[in-house]
Amino acid sequence: MRISMIGTGYVGLVTGACLAETGNDVWCVDVDAAKIEELRQGKIPIYEPGLDVVVRRNVEQGRLRFTTELKEALDSSLFVFIAVGTPPGDSGEADLGHVFDVARAIGASMDSYKIVVAKSTIPVGTTMKIKETIRNVLDGRGRGDLDFDVAFCPEFLKEGSAVEDFMKPDRIVIGTENNRTAELLKELFSFFTFREERMFAMSVASAELTKYAANAMLATRISFMNELARFCERVGADVTEVRRGMGSDGRIGSAFLYAGIGYGGSCFPKDVKALIHSGRQAGTPFSILEAVEAVNVEQRRWFFEKIGARYGGDLKGKSFALWGLSFKPNTDDVREAPALDLVAWLLDGGATLRAYDPVAEGNARKALAGRPSVARAIEEGRLRFGSDNYEVLEGVHALILLTEWPLFRKPDWERIGSLMAEPVVFDGRNQYDPDRMKSGGFVYLAVGR
């Protein structure tokens, strides 16, 4: 099938490349000419395991092409996917500016029947507004005769395993206004899932809400566990044991029950905020989600205060090694990463930091440079980045684990102990065994245990 993918961000690039990988002809379109040029040369702007191989292979075999010319792509496509960003606006609402820019551009360029599929995460009702926008532009061009359908197919891929998630999805949700469009989309996606019952055709509004509901539910589980962790510490329970005990109940399941320093990334924080906003607007506020967000914001602060408490609230003259900066392992993405707030707060408190992340250092530097107090601390030499996870440990008063990269899972504790000034470990991701840490001579402070 012939497809245009508008937007070569995370979702667009992965979806476009994977649709090409399964034999479709895909044009990826973006207004960023420099990015398109790099992609043509096989340079991938994001770190995502396996994506470079898929992109290069499909470019070489001529199924995946990149362009800034929307018309060129549209003319040869039946499906037009919209996969541009919907960042949070001032009151938490999804900013739909890019989505409607694309809708207008489609209306201005199309000359034959299309199925316009929204993939960006958008509030309920937006797909129908996209339809209205395209229709208005067509009418303005005197091309009211042109027919098209709209659909909404949410994306559930996770950063760090996006290619695999796309190739082996748990389910495919297809929101359409009519059966014909649903059948065509089912056919397009039939390659990925052999079990028909894993494809859910539904109304456009239900599909739009499914995406928000799924992310909000996962975020709710995490915030619940984080609040439970704080309680565990007060009453002498271990949240990791409680997790195992409760997660083994098939009705609950074990995924997304890991207490830590809170969720980050480009989806959960934004989508929870957007659904809260939509709920308020509709007159049915999500009081649960308001709490989920509040707990998430508090959690990183709670961890920071736990570190401070060990030093009587005074971090001046203390030096810490930080392991991990990305919002989760296997990605260089630092958007809404709890680690960045912790870096800023520790520096504001007067500490000296040495940080190491396997791939996110560059993005962390850029994101942190925007915070004036951090920029000052960098000038004063109080924040340095190390080239490996042992180097940053030399002479520090404690190690703080912020992202659970596989590299950090089984480190050489003897070596670590010999490098550090004091054998103290703050584990923001509950990666280590408290008994072993204790017998290894470490003071071990984790989350909810």
CB-nearer residue toward ligand UDX: 272 or 420 = 272
Regarding 12 and contact with ligand UDX (CB under 6 A), the answer is no
Question: Angle at Cα 213 formed by Cα 190 and Cα 47, nearest 5°?
Answer: 65
Q: Which stretch binds ligand UDX (CB under 6 A): 84-92, 187-195, 264-272, 410-418?
A: 264-272
Q: Is 257 in the site for ligand UDX (CB under 6 A)?
A: yes
Q: What residues numbered 369-408 form the site for ligand UDX, per CB under 6 A?
A: none
- Beta-bridged to residue 399, according to DSSP, are 321, 425
Q: Kindly state the number of chain residues that form the binding site for ligand UDX, as judged by CB under 6 A.
A: 19
Map the footprint of ligand UDX across residues 197-216, applying CB under 6 A: 215
At closest approach, how far in Å is the CB of 247 from ligand UDX? Answer: 10
- Binding of ligand UDX by 328 (CB under 6 A): yes
- The residue among 268 and 442 lying less far from ligand UDX, judged by its C-beta, is 268
Provide, rounded to whole angstroms, the least separation between the CB of residue 114 and ligand UDX.
25
Q: Which segment (24-32, 153-161, 187-195, 227-235) binds ligand UDX by CB under 6 A?
A: 153-161
Please state the three-class secondary structure of the chain as a single string.
CEEEEECCCHHHHHHHHHHHHCCCEEEEECCCHHHHHHHHCCCCCCCCCCHHHHHHHHHHCCCEEEECCHHHHHHCCCEEEECCCCCECCCCCECCHHHHHHHHHHHHHCCCCEEEEECCCCCCCHHHHHHHHHHHHHHHCCCCCCCEEEEECCCCCCCCCHHHHHHCCCCEEEEECCHHHHHHHHHHHCCCCCCHHHEEEECHHHHHHHHHHHHHHHHHHHHHHHHHHHHHHHHCCCHHHHHHHHHCCCCCCCCCCCCCCCCCCCCHHHHHHHHHHHHHHHCCCCHHHHHHHHHHHHHHHHHHHHHHHHCCCCCCCCEEEEECCCCCCCCCCCCCCHHHHHHHHHHHCCCEEEEECCCCHHHHHHHHHCCHHHHHHHHCCCEEECCCCCHHHCCCCEEEECCCCHHHCCCCHHHHHHHCCCCEEEECCCCCCHHHHHHCCCEEECCCC
> Which residues are tagged catalytic?
267
| Binding region for ligand UDX (CB under 6 A) out of 72-80, 196-204, 255-263, 352-360 | 255-263
Place of tokens 């809400």: 209
Least distance (Å) from ligand UDX to the CB of residue 365?
20
Q: Which stretch binds ligand UDX (CB under 6 A): 16-24, 53-61, 83-91, 149-157?
A: 149-157
222 sits near ligand UDX (criterion: CB under 6 A): yes
| Residue 156 found at the interface with ligand UDX (CB under 6 A) | yes
CA 295 – CA 303 distance, rounded (Å): 12
- Judged by CB under 6 A, which of 263, 303, 345, 442 binds ligand UDX? 263
* Interface with ligand UDX, residue 77, by CB under 6 A: no
Q: Which of 85, 260, 324, 358 binds ligand UDX (CB under 6 A)?
A: 260
Q: Which is nearer to ligand UDX, 100 or 256 (CB)?
A: 256
- Part of the chain binding ligand UDX (CB under 6 A), chosen from 38-46, 132-140, 151-159, 385-393: 151-159
Under rule CB under 6 A, residue 304 binds ligand UDX? no
- Quick check: 265 binds ligand UDX (CB under 6 A)? yes
Binding ligand UDX by CB under 6 A: which of 43, 158, 384, 436? 158
Comparison of 105 and 261: residue with beta carbon closer to ligand UDX: 261
Nearest to ligand UDX of 262, 279 (CB atom) = 262
Binding site for ligand UDX (CB under 6 A): 155-159, 215, 218, 222, 256-258, 260, 263-265, 267-268, 327-328
